[in-house]
Amino acid sequence: MRTRNALSVLTACALTACALAAPLPSPAADEVSAGQVVDAIEAVFGVTPGERRNHTKGTCALGEFVGTQEAARYSRSALFSGDPVPVIARFSLSGGNPNAPDTARSARGMALEFKLPDGSVHHMTMLNAPMFGAAQPRTFLDLMVALKPDPATGKPDPDKVKAFRETHPDARALAEFVATHNPPVSFANSAYFGIHTFRFVDGSDRVTPVRWQFSPQDGEKRLGDDELKTAGPNFLEPALIERTASGPVRWDMLVSIGQPGDPENDPTVLWPADRETFKAGTLSITAAKPQKGAECEPINFDPLVMADGIAPTDDPILQFRSPAYAVSFSRRLGDK
């Protein structure tokens, strides 16, 4: 309880404005283990037995995805066959606090598990910001170390936070984005970004570097400054449940094609806005429900669970997420 009560503000800013709040010296060459990172997250937020260590607060949903012929030109993935693909989704808030307020200035997540016709699955794990807050795992670890509460005050040491900000420029873009963009009024009114560069692979093994986002057909809507004060701590889940009860919520999957020189292994750097973009499909969410006991709860949304036709890059953050998710998942199972 120490952590959650003392970190009511920090819960709102893991991977956000607080990401700028504090870098410790971070030699990029230093090896960082998945266990170290999960340990550090637990030191900041504490442990909620049986729950995810990060993005703890979440909502389950069900739906389907229908790909386009244009996407099939670039990728042989069954996602783009044109037939409906069942989807299990999870919407979430970043950080390890299960009681994080929905008005928190933090990243929102959308994780998808696509169930393909051959029995395989494909995962996409996204944030509602176009960039990530670290180019290397060391930056994320140093952020968590800087945010660890001082036992004497129950709050982070301001000097460590300041040091992090000054020594980790790769955290700056996400922090500035979150600080200048109010949270969404609903999960349904937010775009979600793949963050990383991926590779579409077609039937002839031709590879195309891509980045994607899911753009809401309901439009993007953010809380006004006055609404932030009155919205309450738990409006996102009931809003999504109510919205799906009135009809499907849809997002267009928009894919941008990379050009030579576009960074493929740094999720903190955006591609130029003029890159060719096409619609790869439509996601329809038809039902939402509390996560306890629901379909999304037991899923480890490892972003490297990928079916044929879409491949990862060597992005160090993308590659690191898989073992970090595995450690978190194993600890979650071990709590029971």
Which residue segments constitute the domains of the chain, with CATH numbers given?
2-334 (2.40.180.10)
Is position 123 annotated as part of the catalytic site? Answer: no
Residues paired with residue 252 on neighbouring β-strands, in sequence order: 215, 282
Checking if the pLDDT of 108 tops 90, the result is yes
26-35, 91-100, 251-260 — which is least confidently predicted?
26-35
Candidate list 55, 122, 123, 196, residue with the active-site label: 55
Q: Is 289 helix (H, G, I), strand (E, B) or coil?
A: strand
The pTM of this model reads 0.90
Give whole-number Cα distances, 288 to 61, 187, 190, 327, in Å. 4, 11, 16, 27
Cα 65 to its chain centre, rounded Å, is 19
Q: Shortest CA distance to 111 belongs to which of 84, 88, 78, 140?
A: 88
Q: What is the mean pLDDT of the chain?
A: 91
Q: What is the pLDDT of residue 30?
A: 64
pLDDT tens-digit map of 173-206 = 999 999 999 999 999 999 999 999 999 999 999 9
The reported pLDDT for the residue numbered 31 is: 87
Residue 14 has pLDDT above 80, yes or no: no
Instruction: Retrieve residue 321's tokens.
Output: 């997420």
pLDDT in tens, 26-58: 444 468 999 999 999 999 999 999 999 999 999
Reported as a pLDDT band with limits 50, 70 and 90, residue 13 is very low
3-state helix, strand, coil in the chain (%, to 5): 30, 25, 45
